[in-house]
């Protein structure tokens, strides 16, 4: 009779720093695996600490406590299947990103990560020491090789494991989302399978951590690259995967292939997950936001309701003398469609009081952006008062286009605890609203249907801080602006590159200038959901004071 081996794959959502709670999640998965007759219960990279820890992992008291939890897990899981779990390991003055194999009440093996990523949001060279080349470990009849996350993105580690006797590859990951990343992961893992001739299991985290979301979508491949298992994206899932020994070696038994969402659904689910987990993991359950009747705040309100439920979302309209009646109507319609609370707090009297206070100093000076910004900052005074009084986290609603060029008021509409659309260019805001109106999923807590009125999507964007103001009075049309920003920010293109693509050089230089002088605003902006490899934050680290400009 052919030998069999069952791995329970725990695609779960740990919380950074919640060591005991993460250990409890691991034990629940282990118990489920034991009940299912598993030989091994596997959890993702750095699961015991949560991921990413950033500099927290370097604190000796923290990594010692994490290692103690792993040792306790080994003792607790002695009577049953082996457990594999990621966490830190300190030894001889060095600190490693490790994967622990627990069996029989002890730590049977430690795998130490060799390839430390030092790009985009990762800075593991700062945190960890690289591990040496290592061979496989044995669980029952099976010899397993474990390249940890980045180790599997280049061929050397997997090749060494295959050459030293590994019969399958188990790849634990903390791989955060960016648009269409699943395709990229799959391509790399297929390459490892083709090169080694071994089946491969790719096990990823799920859940939000600050700006990053881990999207799960774990999978298994058989030699040749055939997909044997595809787990859902973004959902916590425990799946049992069987292997059987054949004449050609161990092979994964065909499992369920969960359908994967397209990029529009992925982005939207990512924003919902990021907001939900940021609040849950930081101790909040309710939010408040300004609802202007414009498209950005409409989308943020919709994301908030889908993440938290309408009963946990307060929207606030704060009209001034420049607020159009149509904006008031649109705000009311959005709140009604979402079944969210809408409060109205006019700022006219507050603005008059501030201007009266400043009048002696402003006498004889023409009105300019100063007076416009006072309105925005007054609104934030009101919103922060509600946040403080009712314990509701304030959401800010600026899109990536506005943040890129500084078309936002620092300590005004930029103020807040989280920004779900921070990495969404304005042109994608429009399309995301259309997508949400046309699509509803069971994980959305908000209602189905056309929740964002079409006229909110179609009307010219305006900050409504002066009479008849339109965004295009101050900025190029968003189609042009976003094309230039994608070149400058996402693609690191030169001015000459963009001119060669057909953009006007004067416009490109103006956008470049705005991009650089707005760095100080972004430095103080709220965290927000990462959707691309060039989000503002850890992905793109620029100096605040910067006199260089591209002369190409």
DSSP 49-98: T-S--GGGGGSHHHHHHHHHHHHHHHHHT-SSSEEEEEEEEEETTEEEEE
Distance CA 4, CA 415 (A): 57
C-alpha distances in Å from residue 201, one per residue of 157, 222, 243, 475: 15, 9, 11, 48
What mean pLDDT is reported for the chain? Answer: 96
Mean pLDDT for the stretch of residues 515-542: 95
| Best CA proximity match to 277, nearest among 210, 208, 225 | 208
pLDDT at residue 88 above 90?
yes
In contact, 122 and 113? CB cutoff 8 Å:
no
pLDDT at residue 298 above 90?
yes
pLDDT at residue 270 above 90?
yes
Residues 168 and 299 in one domain: no
Q: What is the 3-state secondary structure (H, E, C) of 204-238?
A: ECEEEECCEEEEECCEEEECCCEEEEECCECCCEE
DSSP class of residue 472? Answer: G
Q: CB 399: neighbour CB atoms within 10 A?
A: 27
Residue 482 lies in a domain: no
pLDDT at residue 410 above 90?
yes
Query: What is the per-residue pLDDT for 464?
Result: 65
**pLDDT level of residue 460 (50, 70, 90 thresholds):** confident
The residue behind tokens 């009105």 is: 367
Sheet holding 137-139, edge to edge: 137-139, 142-145, 168-173, 200-204, 219-222, 226-230
Residues 179 and 272 in one domain: no
In contact, 204 and 214? CB cutoff 8 Å:
yes
In contact, 482 and 426? CB cutoff 8 Å:
yes
Query: What is the per-residue pLDDT for 1?
Result: 67
**pLDDT level of residue 496 (50, 70, 90 thresholds):** very high
Mean pLDDT for the stretch of residues 16-35: 98
**pLDDT level of residue 461 (50, 70, 90 thresholds):** confident
Residue 119 lies in a domain: yes
Residues 288 and 228 in one domain: no
Q: Cite the active site residues.
A: 45, 113, 149
| Best CA proximity match to 271, nearest among 306, 232, 315, 313 | 306
Residues 255 and 270 in one domain: no
Residue 493 lies in a domain: no
Among 200, 235, 260, give the residue marking a domain's end. 260
pLDDT at residue 161 above 70?
yes
Residues 337 and 251 in one domain: no
Among 260, 291, 323, give the residue marking a domain's end. 260
C-alpha distances in Å from residue 420, one per residue of 175, 182, 269, 279, 399: 20, 21, 11, 12, 9
Query: Is the bond preceding residue 439 a cis peptide, omega within 30 degrees?
Result: no
pLDDT at residue 328 above 70?
yes
Mean pLDDT for the stretch of residues 75-81: 97
Query: What is the per-residue pLDDT for 36?
Result: 98
Residues 210 and 295 in one domain: no
Residue 25 lies in a domain: yes
Q: Give φ, ψ of 265 to 5 degrees.
A: -70, -40
Distance CA 299, CA 429 (A): 8
Relative orientation angle of helices 263-282 and 426-438, to the nearest 10 degrees: 90
Query: What is the per-residue pLDDT for 2?
Result: 79
Distance CA 171, CA 161 (A): 12
Residue 73 lies in a domain: yes
Q: Give φ, ψ of 259 to 5 degrees.
A: -65, 145
Residues 336 and 399 in one domain: yes
Residues 193 and 289 in one domain: no
| Best CA proximity match to 438, nearest among 427, 424, 449, 453 | 449
Residues 420 and 290 in one domain: yes
Residue 39 lies in a domain: yes
Paired sense of beta strands 287-290 and 82-91, if any: unpaired
| Best CA proximity match to 215, nearest among 231, 193, 192 | 231
Residues 113 and 170 in one domain: yes
Residue 275's domain is classified under what CATH number? 3.40.50.620
Both structure tokens of 352: 């008059």
pLDDT at residue 506 above 80?
yes
Residues 447 and 463 in one domain: yes
Residue 498 lies in a domain: no
Query: What is the per-residue pLDDT for 462?
Result: 72
Coil, helix or strand at residue 500:
helix
Query: What is the per-residue pLDDT for 434?
Result: 98
- Percent of residues, the chain, with pLDDT higher than 90: 94
492 contact partners, CB below 8 Å, separation of at least 6: none
| Tens-digit pLDDT profile for residues 63-72 | 999 999 999 9
Query: What is the per-residue pLDDT for 469?
Result: 72
Select the more confidently predicted residue: 47 or 472.
Answer: 47
Counting the structural domains of the chain, the total is: 2
- Percent of residues, the chain, with pLDDT higher than 70: 99
What are the residues facing 221 on neighbouring strands?
200, 227
**pLDDT level of residue 481 (50, 70, 90 thresholds):** very high
Among 441, 471, 501, give the residue marking a domain's end. 471
Coil, helix or strand at residue 189:
helix
Residues 283 and 196 in one domain: no
Q: HSE on the CB side for 64, CA within 13 Å? A: 4
Domain, as residue range, for 58: 4-260
Residue 496 lies in a domain: no
Query: What is the per-residue pLDDT for 371?
Result: 92
Mean pLDDT for the stretch of residues 84-99: 98
Spell out a b/e string for 156-178, using b for 16 or more CB atoms within 10 Å of the CB, else e: ebbebbbeeebbbbbbbbbbbbb
Lowest mean pLDDT, pick from 64-73, 192-201, 461-470: 461-470
Mean pLDDT for the stretch of residues 524-530: 97
In contact, 316 and 291? CB cutoff 8 Å:
yes
Query: What is the per-residue pLDDT for 470?
Result: 76
Residue 229's domain is classified under what CATH number? 3.60.110.10
């Amino acid at each position: 009779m052919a030998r069999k081996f069952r791995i329970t794959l725990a695609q779960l959502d740990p919380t950074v720093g919640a060591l005991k709670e993460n250990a409890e999640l691991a034990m629940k998965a282990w118990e489920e695996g034991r009940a299912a007759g598993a030989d091994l219960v596997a959890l993702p990279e750095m699961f015991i600490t949560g991921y990413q820890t950033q500099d927290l992992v370097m604190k000796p008291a923290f990594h010692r406590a994490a290692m103690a939890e792993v040792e306790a897990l080994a003792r607790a899981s002695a009577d049953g299947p082996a457990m594999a779990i990621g966490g830190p390991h300190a030894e001889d003055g060095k600190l490693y990103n490790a994967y622990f194999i627990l069996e029989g009440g002890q730590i049977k093996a430690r795998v130490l990560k060799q390839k430390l990523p030092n790009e985009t949001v990762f800075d593991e060279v700062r945190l960890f020491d690289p591990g040496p080349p290592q061979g496989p470990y044995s669980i029952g009849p099976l010899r397993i090789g474990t390249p940890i996350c980045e180790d599997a993105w280049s061929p050397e580690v997997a090749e060494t494991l295959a050459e030293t006797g590994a019969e399958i590859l188990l790849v634990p990951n903390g791989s955060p989302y960016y648009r269409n990343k699943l395709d990229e992961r799959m391509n790399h893992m297929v390459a490892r399978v083709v090169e080694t001739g071994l089946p491969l299991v790719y096990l990823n985290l799920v859940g939000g951590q600050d700006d990053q979301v881990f999207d799960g979508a774990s999978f298994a491949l058989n030699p040749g690259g055939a997909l044997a298992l595809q787990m859902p994206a973004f959902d916590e899932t425990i799946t049992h995967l069987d292997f059987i020994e054949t004449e050609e070696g161990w092979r994964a038994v065909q499992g369920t292939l969960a359908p994967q969402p397209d990029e529009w659904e992925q982005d939207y689910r990512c924003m919902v997950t990021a907001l939900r987990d940021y609040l849950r993991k930081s101790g909040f359950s309710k939010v408040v936001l300004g609802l202007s009747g414009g498209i950005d705040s409409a989308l943020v309100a919709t994301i908030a309701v889908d993440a938290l439920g309408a009963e946990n979302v307060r929207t606030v309209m704060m009209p001034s003398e420049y607020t159009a009646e149509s904006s008031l109507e649109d705000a009311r319609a959005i709140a009604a469609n979402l079944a969210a609370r809408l409060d109205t707090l006019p700022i006219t009297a507050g603005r008059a009081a501030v201007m009266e206070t400043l009048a002696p100093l402003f006498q004889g000076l023409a009105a300019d952006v100063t007076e416009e910004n006072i309105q925005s900052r007054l609104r934030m005074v009101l919103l922060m008062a509600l946040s403080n009084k009712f314990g509701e986290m304030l959401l800010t609603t600026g899109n990536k286009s506005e943040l890129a060029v500084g078309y936002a008021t620092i300590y005004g509409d930029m103020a807040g605890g989280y920004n779900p659309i921070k990495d969404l260019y304005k042109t994608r805001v429009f399309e995301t609203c259309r997508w949400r109106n046309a699509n509803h999923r069971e994980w959305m807590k908000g209602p189905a249907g056309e929740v964002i009125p079409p006229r909110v999507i179609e009307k010219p964007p305006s900050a409504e801080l002066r009479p008849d103001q339109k965004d295009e009075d101050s900025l190029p049309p968003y189609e042009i602006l976003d094309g230039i920003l994608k070149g400058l920010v996402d693609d690191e293109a030169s001015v000459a590159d963009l001119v060669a693509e057909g953009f006007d050089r004067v416009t490109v230089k103006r956008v470049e200038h705005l991009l650089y002088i707005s760095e100080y605003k972004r430095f103080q902006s709220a965290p927000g959901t990462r959707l691309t490899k060039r989000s503002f934050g850890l992905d793109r680290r620029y100096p605040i004071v910067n006199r260089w400009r591209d002369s190409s």
